[in-house]
Structure 1
Amino acid sequence: MMSTETALSTDQAQHTIADPATLPALPQEGGDVIVPAFSRPKVVTFSHLAQKLEKYISPADMKRILEAFRFADEKHLGQIRKSGEPYISHPLAVAEICADWKLDAQAIMAALLHDVVEDQGVTLEELIERFGAPVAAMVDGLSKLEKLQFKTHVDAQGENFRKMLLAMARDVRVILIKLADRLHNMRTLDVMNRPKRYRIARETMEVYVPIAHRLGINNLYREMQDLAFHNMYPFRYETLSKAIKSSRGNRRTLIGKVHDAVSSALEKNGIHAEIYGREKTLYGIYRKMRNQNLSFSQVLDIYGFRIVVDTLAQCYMTLGILHALYKPIPGKVQDYIAIPKLNNYQSLHTSLVGPYGTPVEFQIRTHEMHHVAETGVAAHWLYKTENETLTDLQKHSLGWLQSLLDIQQQTGNSAEFIEHVKVDLFPDSVYVFTPKAKIIALPRAATALDFAYNIHSDIGDHTASVKINNSVVPLRTELQNGDIVEIITSPNAHPTPSWLEFVRTGKARSRIRSYLRSINLADSIKLGQRLLQQSLKSIHLDEAGIPKPVFDKLLYETGAKTMDDIYADIGTGKRLAVLVARRIASLIDEISRKHGNSVKDEEPQKIEPVIIYGSEGINVQLATCCLPIPGDTIIGELNMTRGLVVHNAECQQAKKLIAREPDKWINVDWGEDLNRSFDCYLRVLVVEEKGILARVTAEISGSDANITAVEMETQGEFNLLKFTVQVENRIHLARLLRRVRHVPGVKKIGRDRI
């Protein structure tokens, strides 16, 4: 067959627009489908739409939908899509997709009208008057912020996504219409130029595909995923597509053998079932080849079947019958019925050793579970009214949307918001329990602190310690399936910058950042002002002598309200002081030239280092990878989340960061009269004998150093002791090392850097 390298080489030779490694790692599919041919979809007419709507929409509602269609048709009259089709064909196609999900009349009307505000200048007031406030609110949520000016595409994308979230947190139908809109655009993307196709497809893969998956709409999720793959890497897509078609004949014999054996076994046990063979999506095959370094033939060596039965009890009976028919592979049975996935997907999964030793995967579910697995939140659509309640799946979805809304309210800028949202869009779930046995689902690698913030933001903010399975563990402990987690709070506990290093969920990260910004503003302003003054001094400028028009223009260009905002951005690493200083110099030059004055270029002076005393507050951090102490040569990193981070100049981690982003580093130096202690890591290699730990700790204490942590691990015939001690400076540390080195049984001692 064809190797991974063969599958990719054609496209790499033809297109260098992006590296495949930049593709996001998306969640696993709930099931696979036959590869779509991607022929251009038919043009939808209103009669096509009406045929579907008449099956479940009342005549009165049909009249309102017809009125919405006529209004949209009139407004889009003369507007043509790039394909040459009348523009109204797009809203009709979006409405048809919504009709397939059996959305209500208001949603169908909003789908037909979703572009009239954005493209044709129709006001919301006009929509409210003609079609009612709910329809107008959905259309508003779907409209982009075209009238605002954004500095970057990321800002625009973030603001559009924020607005959509605000609307869909009030009404889930907004995101369903938006997904239908994106699906039809992807189906007709072939008319766009190559760069635009790539950009739209990538945005679809990164944002809309995982949203569809999170909402459980798996048929939509899989189609959009393959459409995005087809438009991002067309030659890879075609190569894999041809390989799959040529391999199908060789697989029919084994698939038929398994199908007949399973069907016969189920009939003997009185179980009526529908059995389907599953074929992986093209993107699923491509991703598996790339991530696991497998050849094409190795990926297709795994066969999949889906069994749909009538009742819940029959699901478990079928599992037992399959395990009696074929030998199960240990550790490959997953019960998503008892504990559903985050998107409420339910099935039993098992992997068996089939004929000729071939692995065969089975999914077992009821008809109801199958319907939910394919259409997710759109299954059995029920819009909440005063006399109706939401389904469990819709409650799950609304809860997730509300959590995203909480994130957007706490986030400082659009790029940061998109970053947080993407964290929550790609969950590989872990399921844990509260002390009262409530199941909490979190992304894989989530920590105990993420659990606390998931329960409530205030609980997260005041987390003092945590117990997992009745044992006290660090807050950074990663959670495992089945853990029982208990949070212990204290009014004196508050978030620290170090928490950002290990939390995984967007909700926890945004809440911590929001708290740190609120309490750290004054420190950030002071540090930023110091940094800017030093940068200005290096180019012979004094902040006090700079005319006010220069600052006014700087504020206008940056969008800041006051200079304190700019100081705060510099102090937290969002802006570089040297770049702000250079812009001020250029603005002075522009103003001087307008008045006929020449500005003499002068040789810049060496920038004086920022002085560190170690007591500046949480806006200045000593890096935990190297823990610098007075006497070390140090260097500072301007970090957006942690302020100024001070590293030892010999720190290997710092050297790697400097190579990547040299502009974020500044010179720093220790101040005088540092009246405090500093943490330091020590490694002591000792012989394994009784009393050695006591002798070493006694010498450390005798050196006037405080021990804050100690760990021990075995290394052959020796033990390695790891200490965190507090010393005043390098001289104090040297004195401590000399004392411990003379302890009998100590073979080696030195300073440790992580």
Structure 2
Amino acid sequence: MSVTETNSSLNSPQVATPAETTPNLPASSTGQTGATSKKVSTKKHPLISGEAHTARSPQTNIGVASTSGLSERLAQYMSPGDLKLVKEAYRFSDEMHLGQVRKSGEPYISHPIAVAEICADWKLDVQAIMAALLHDVMEDQDVKKEELIERFGAPVATLVDGLSKLEKIEFQSQIEAQAENFRKMLLAMARDVRVILVKLADRLHNMRTLGVMLPEKKRRISRETMDVYVPIAHRLGLNNIYRELQDLAFSHLYPMRYRTLSKAVKAARGNRREVVNKILESVKETLKEAGLQAEVYGREKTLYGIYRKMHDKHLSFSQVLDVYGFRVVVENFRESYYALGSLHALYKPMPGKFKDYIAIPKTNGYQSLHTTLIGPYGTPVEFQIRTQDMHRVAESGVAAHWLYKNEEGSLTDLQQRTHAWLQSLLDIQKQTGDSAEFLEHVKVDLFPDSVYVFTPKSKIIALPRGATALDFAYNIHTDIGDQAIATRINHEPVPLRSELKNGDIVEIVTSPNSRPTPNWLSYVRTGKARSAIRHYLRTINLNESTELGKQLLAQALVAVSLNPELPSSLIDKLLNESTAKTMDEIYTDIGIGKRMAALVARHILDLVEDDSSSIPFQQYGDKHHYKPDPVIIYGSEGLSVQLAPCCMPIPGDGIVGQLKRDQGLVVHTDDCEHAKRLHIKEPDRWIDVTWGDEVNRSFDTRIAVTVTNERGALARIAAEIGESEANISHVNMEDGDANDMTHIHFTIQVEDRAHLARIMRNIKHLNGVNRIARERG
């Protein structure tokens, strides 16, 4: 993903050199004078005079940018006072971008004009249109926010600032810069949704004009569009932009597949025209007989929609039967269900293919009835039935607020849901350690597929598919999530990790003594839950993580032949090139797995090699002669060191350590099959660890005992475990392969491997015990 590079690559300003400029261009065919300097924008523009205008660049070999389309759009809904403000913004933007051209050779001002036109189609207010025209002046021309405040007011300046990238700030990596820019944009959007509307308009125009770019840049920009901007457009209900961005990104990511599929769809139009017309006529006649006035029209699936269906279900194009669907738009809510009944009487419905998004709208406000019917010749045909108001929201999403303003000034359900989601972004920001983590949480919540569940008071809660009862608890309130101990789904007690299904009634049981554990991160799905748990863990074990990080960095420095005792001059250099303010922050990030100790150590080595004369501290020499000491585990480190639940290591076992993001160090046995699979995926996150000499606590481990099914067997084994100075924390029984055998699974607490061996020997000698083994996995 490449958030920071998109505009700079597509719209990178190319300033004409003096040799390329012409002192006096002839007047254009419209009577306008060619631009010779920045003063050209004091001439009358169409936004000033109402006449057609052509913006020119000093270069003689480039195209022109017309503002007539924007003028016509704005004149439809703006007052003269607002138009005057837009004129000023246009004049300033024209001056700032004078002499710049896009990769296509067009004057650069053509891009802000096009973005403003898209925003004007939504009838966005004057401040948003001004921001659209000015959205690149801070980034490309180094115009300060203070100057924009003075000229155009704080609201416009804030919008432009939210749309500008952070290119003047030094970041450790390109990924960090991308994540921070994305966070800035989303937080600005959370405070004012117009930011993302202008940004989506900007991205849409860039995608429409992406053809001039190199193939690699096309793919990178298209991948970012598909990963970030398409989900945002969907989440805000902007379905027109959502579909167009998908198809544009698809065409650049997979050009051959796009062209092949496009040809196939064109050919299918002719072949299926007869079927489509027959269905249209039948439906219109049926609705007319039912006394319903409705608009009925066919719609074609997008190329990307067809491609996804072929890809996900492993179908050929000829097997995708529902390339065409039909939309029925009626007058009011009741008529939607009348129309549904009429259609079901006309064609047989397919079982399991009906969805009522009117009673339970999607999270982005979308409302329609969906039904799939068996049409003529046995072809499945999808119908969407909705009212006029639902249709407007379905196509325009939150932009419908400007297109069709509510005269009463009250918030619609969609606006309320959008406001709640935007507020959740601010909540996540408060609990998030850095921009990469914030981006991870938000992308999770942009996952479009949802599950709808109910509170005990019948309030509908929408969560991403795969969400658990613990996600539900955090969705209600962070305190409820932190204190959750159990849940009841449909009045039945189930674990907190239980996955929710549509229609579940969920109740959370809390206790003031309950607190989040690192294991919770493995089964929460939403960004809000994940950020809240990480925030708690980061706060509660800060000192432990700092000490662990210090130990890990010292180990990594020895591995690259550097002295772990860093001089203050080197620490100052390291902090200047990092987002951290103190070394303790760096140690903490390493301790919780957010930074890799090896990468920090290599960065320090680079600093030493770049300016070795100013670093008066000892290097060890040939690093290959040194092997770093393993990290010592005592079992009393707290939450910064976790013993893996898959293999439950105990003192005496051979162990290895995995640095897991925001869970610190996770210790596995060296023969753990799960650890071996993880090591293949992320080999850089594994370090050497060893048990300390003085370990004075008990450790959980599992044993499985197979016994003859007779009275008192469990009691005898439990008594023997107690006499062996061990504690039983969990017991589970199941029938064996033979009727007279039973398997008993114990989780017991032991001191070390020798203690466990003694317990197992004692149990094995009991009457009725056939087999005993330590359990793994």
When normalised by structure 2's length, the TM-score is 0.85
Distance in 2 separating the partners of 1:352 and 1:694: 62
Partner of 1:458: 479
Partner of 1:501: 522
Within 5 A, what are the aligned runs for 1:219-234?
A: 219-234=240-255
Q: Which residue of 2 aligns with 1:724?
A: 747
Taking structure 1 as reference, are residues 566 and 132 closer, same or farther at Cα in structure 2, changes over 3 Å only?
closer
* Alpha-carbon distance in structure 2 between the residues aligned to 1:696 and 1:263: 77
2:574 corresponds to which of 547, 550, 554: 554
Alignment-mate amino acid for residue 234 of structure 2: H
What SS does the aligned partner of 1:645 have?
Answer: strand
Q: 1:269 is matched by which residue type in structure 2?
A: A
Question: In the alignment, does 2:600 pair up with 1:608?
Answer: no
CA distance 1:381–1:696, shift in 2 (3 Å): farther
**Are 2:701 and 1:680 aligned?**
yes
Q: Distance in 2 between matches of 1:112 and 1:582?
A: 44
**Equivalences for residues 386-397 of structure 1 within 5 A:** 388-397=409-418
- 1:644 is matched with 665
Alignment partner of 2:471: what SS? helix
Letter in 1 for 2:594: K
Question: Equivalent residues in 2 for 1:339-378 (5 A)?
Answer: 339-378=360-399
Determine if contact 2:191/2:422 at 8 Å carries over to the other structure.
Answer: no
Check the 8 A contact 2:183/2:439 in 1, yes or no.
no
Aligned to 1:733: 756
- 2:183 aligned with 1:162, yes or no? yes
The aligned counterpart of 2:459 is: 438
Q: Could you tell me whether the CA contact under 8 Å between 1:592 and 1:598 is conserved in 2?
A: no
Contact 2:541 2:639 (8 Å CA) reproduced = yes
Give matches, 1:25-36, under 5 Å: none
Aligned to 2:351: 330
> How far, CA to CA, are the matches of 1:596 and 1:649 in structure 2?
40
Tell me which residue corresponds to 1:563: 583
Q: Structure 2 vs 1, CA of residues 43 and 423 (structure 1 numbering), >3 Å: closer, same or farther?
A: farther
Q: Which of 478-487 and 642-651 deviates more?
A: 478-487
Q: Report the CA distance between 1:745 and its aligned residue.
A: 6.2
Which of 701, 709, 712 lines up with 2:730 in the alignment? Answer: 709
User: Which string of whole-angstrom CA distances, capped at 9 and with x for unpartnered residues, describes residues 451-483 of structure 1?
Assistant: 111112222222233222233322211112222
**2: CA distance between counterparts of 1:682 and 1:228?**
54
Alignment match, 1:296: 317
Aligned to 1:515: 536
Partner residue of 1:670? 691
Mapped partners of 2:340, 2:407: distance in 1: 42
Matched, 1:429 2:444: no
Structure with greater contact order relative to length (CA < 8 Å, sep ≥ 6):
1
Contact 1:154 1:414 (8 Å CA) reproduced: no
Q: Does 1:50 align with 2:77?
A: no
- Once residues 595 and 151 of structure 1 are traced to their aligned partners in structure 2, the CA distance between those partners, rounded to angstroms, is 21
Provide Cα deviations, 1:186-222, integer angstroms capped at 9, x if missing partner: 1111111111111111111111111000000101100
Contact in 2 for aligned 1:407/1:511 (Cα 8 Å): yes
Q: Could you tell me which residue of structure 2 aligns to residue 212 of structure 1?
A: 233
* Secondary structure class of the residue paired with 1:85: coil
Answer whether contact 1:713 1:720 (CA < 8 A) is retained.
yes
Residues 135 and 474 of structure 1: CA distance in aligned 2, closer, same or farther (over 3 Å) = same
Greater shift in the superposed pair: 550-559 or 280-289: 550-559
How far, CA to CA, are the matches of 1:708 and 1:184 in structure 2?
62
Q: Does 1:262 align with 2:290?
A: no
Q: 1:727 to 1:92 in 2, by over 3 A?
A: same
**Structure 1 residue 61, shift from structure 2 partner:** 2.0
Aligned equivalent of 2:221: 200
1:126 aligns with 2:147: yes
Structure 1: distance between partners of 2:638 and 2:385: 57
User: 1:355: Cα distance to partner?
Assistant: 2.6
Q: Offset at 1:386?
A: 13
Shift of 1:547: 4.0
Q: Does 1:60 align with 2:102?
A: no
> Deviation per CA, 1:567-599, whole angstroms, max 9, x where unpaired?
223322334445545655665667666799996
TM, length-normalised to structure 1: 0.88
Instruction: Please show how residues 461-480 of structure 1 align to structure 2 within 5 Å.
Output: 461-480=482-501
Offset of 1:515 from its aligned partner?
1.6
Q: Please, which moves more after superposition, 181-190 or 156-165?
A: 156-165
What residue is the counterpart of 1:145 in the other structure? 166
Any stretches of 5+ residues in structure 1 without a counterpart?
A: 1-41
1:751 maps onto 2:758 in alignment: no
Partners of 2:471 and 2:597 in 1: CA distance: 34
Moved more, 312-321 or 155-164: 155-164
What's 2:53 paired with? none
CA contact (8 A) 2:730 2:746 kept: yes
Q: How many Å apart are 1:146 and its aligned residue?
A: 2.2
Q: Secondary structure at the match of 1:679?
A: strand
Q: Which amino acid aligns with 2:94?
A: D
Corresponding residue to 1:136 among 144, 157, 160: 157
Within the candidate set 581, 593, 600, 1:573 is matched to 593
Q: Deviations over 1:419-449 (max 9, x none)?
A: 1111011131111112222111111111111
Q: Deviation digits for residues 130-152 of structure 1, max 9, x if unmatched?
A: 33322222122112222212233
Give structure 2 stretches of 5+ with no counterpart.
1-62
Over 3 Å counting, the alpha-carbon distance change for 1:283 and 1:592 in structure 2 is closer
Residue 732 of structure 1, CA deviation:
2.9
Distance 1:445 1:583, change over 3 A: closer
Write the distance in 1 (CA, Å) between the matches of 2:166 and 2:712: 71
Conserved in 1, the CA contact under 8 Å of 2:65 and 2:107?
A: no
Quote the Cα distance in structure 2 between the aligned partners of 1:472 and 1:330: 32
Output the CA distance in 2 between the equivalents of 1:319 and 1:717: 57
Residues of 2 paired with 1:424 and 1:77: CA distance? 41
- Match of 1:481, as an amino acid? N
Give the letter for the 2:664 counterpart.
Answer: G
Partner SS state of residue 682, structure 1: strand
Q: Which segment drifts farther, 336-345 or 64-73? A: 64-73
In 2, Cα distance between equivalents of 1:539 and 1:198: 37
Structure 1 pair 306–640 and aligned structure 2 pair: CA distance change class (3 A): same
Equivalent residues in 2 for 1:72-111, closer than 5 Å: 72-111=93-132
Aligned equivalents of 2:165 and 2:616: distance in 1? Answer: 45
Cα separation, partners in 2 of 1:715 and 1:237, compared to 1, 3 Å: farther
CA shift in 2, pair 1:439/1:594, >3 Å: closer
Query: SS where residue 394 of structure 1 aligns?
Result: helix
> Cα gap change, 1:684/1:175 in structure 2, threshold over 3 Å: closer, same or farther?
same
Please tell me whether the aligned partners of residues 638 and 664 of structure 1 are also in contact (alpha carbons under 8 angstroms).
yes
Contact preservation (8 Å) 1:273, 1:310: yes
Q: Do the aligned partners of residues 125 and 540 (structure 1) sit closer, same or farther apart at CA in structure 2, a change above 3 Å counting?
A: closer
| Contact residue 350 and residue 363 of structure 1 kept, 8 A | yes
